[in-house]
Amino acid sequence: MSELLIRTRPIRTLKQTVRILVMVATTFLGLLLITFLIGRIVPIDPVLAVVGDKASPQVYEKARIAMGLHLPLWKQFLIYIGNVVTGDFGTSVLTANPVIDDILRVFPATFELAGTATVIGILVGIPLGIFSAVKQGSFLDHVTRVIGLFGHSLPIFWLGLMALMLFYVRLDLLPGPGRVDFFYEGIVTPVTGILTIDSIVAGEWEIFRNAVYHLILPASLLGYYSSAYLLRMTRSFMIEQLRQEYILTARVKGVKEWKVIWGHALGNCAIPLITVIALSFGTLLEGSVLTETVFAWPGLGLYLTNSLLNADMNAVLGSTIVVGAIFLGINLFSDFLYKVMDPRAR
């Protein structure tokens, strides 16, 4: 019996891998098709974005043919798939750069913001969630839950504007929109694209300080949203674990309470929590669209918004696919972590 198991395992793994690959490919194709069709169905002439309103018909026609828009739709789609597979998302009309270069340029800004926000979310949300679960029903539990509820229901752009009004305009505690004071922009040469790291690399301490300062408000806001979500999830995971018999056993055995909570119960929540954190990070990456607009934060969200408003279809499709791919990646990654950390899931 055991021999049989050992022999079939590689085959099973192979089968699983193929299944996952097929799933990823289908999801991706679906994503491509939908984004492509949206781009073609909207009643906006993409040639206009290239040549502007005042172009002569000859200039217009030349651009239309150069963009391949005279071909039948299915042919355009095939060409598009072919290009995307080879990593060519076309050229952005708005920036005159290849879309992939643009995305690589703006993505670190979003990553920096979403990363910081996730750290804040974890540091605030998980301890509060645990606290809430342990002191279930207490006054503080209710307060925490109300704060969490707010974080889940208030629109982020509104909260962003209010926070700017308060901390920037009224109290003068924190800086306004932008990744750094405007006159500091363009001084540090991007290495990683993450400004707080690049400024250290360049030894520009003033800019580093300024960048951190600028990061506080938007990251805290996004972090608040992420912590509200993590809080609710942690609370329910913990409540479920604390009801289990092994917790009772541990307590009976005289294990210290903090060890029961932080070791036993939280240890068993760790796996679902990782998934939740990964998903919340993914949501922040795409969810920062509005925050980036409010804070004039030059990341993927702002890039996507600008491209949409200017009918820059290549850029819109490119960013959508990248966001989709990141989501797929995060899902696969958390599945993988599951398997590594939980022997039962193997």
Q: Which residues bind other proteins (CB under 8 A)?
A: 42-45, 48-59, 62, 92-97, 102, 105, 164, 168-169, 172, 175-178, 181-183, 185-186, 209-210, 212-213, 216, 293, 296, 298, 302-303, 306, 309-311
Question: What distance in Å separates the CA atoms of residue 33 and residue 294, rounded to the nearest whole number?
Answer: 31
3/172 with CB nearer other proteins: 172
133/180 with CB nearer other proteins: 180
Q: Which two tokens stand for residue 241?
A: 């674990």
* Cβ at position 97, least distance to other proteins in Å: 7
* Cβ at position 274, least distance to other proteins in Å: 23
CB-count exposure of residue 99 (10 Å: 0-12, 13-18, 19+): buried
185/257 with CB nearer other proteins: 185
* Cβ at position 183, least distance to other proteins in Å: 5
* Cβ at position 311, least distance to other proteins in Å: 4
7/170 with CB nearer other proteins: 170
127/298 with CB nearer other proteins: 298
The distance from CA 15 to its chain's CA centroid, rounded to whole angstroms, is: 30
179/232 with CB nearer other proteins: 179
DSSP assignments along 183-214, one per residue? GGTT-SPPSSS-HHHHHHHTT-HHHHHHHHHH
Q: Which two tokens stand for residue 97?
A: 């750069």
* Cβ at position 265, least distance to other proteins in Å: 22
Question: What distance in Å separates the CA atoms of residue 185 and residue 208, rounded to the nearest whole number?
Answer: 12
Which of 194, 51, 8 is CA-nearest to residue 116? 194
Q: Which two tokens stand for residue 53?
A: 């309103």
65/78 with CB nearer other proteins: 65
Cα-trace Rg, the chain = 25
φ, ψ (nearest 5 deg) of residue 244: -70, 160
CA distances from 105 to 11, 108, 194 (A): 42, 7, 10
* Cβ at position 254, least distance to other proteins in Å: 26
Question: What distance in Å separates the CA atoms of residue 279 and residue 284, rounded to the nearest whole number?
Answer: 9
* Cβ at position 30, least distance to other proteins in Å: 26
Question: What distance in Å separates the CA atoms of residue 210 and residue 196, rounded to the nearest whole number?
Answer: 9
* Cβ at position 13, least distance to other proteins in Å: 41
SS3 at position 243? coil
27/293 with CB nearer other proteins: 293
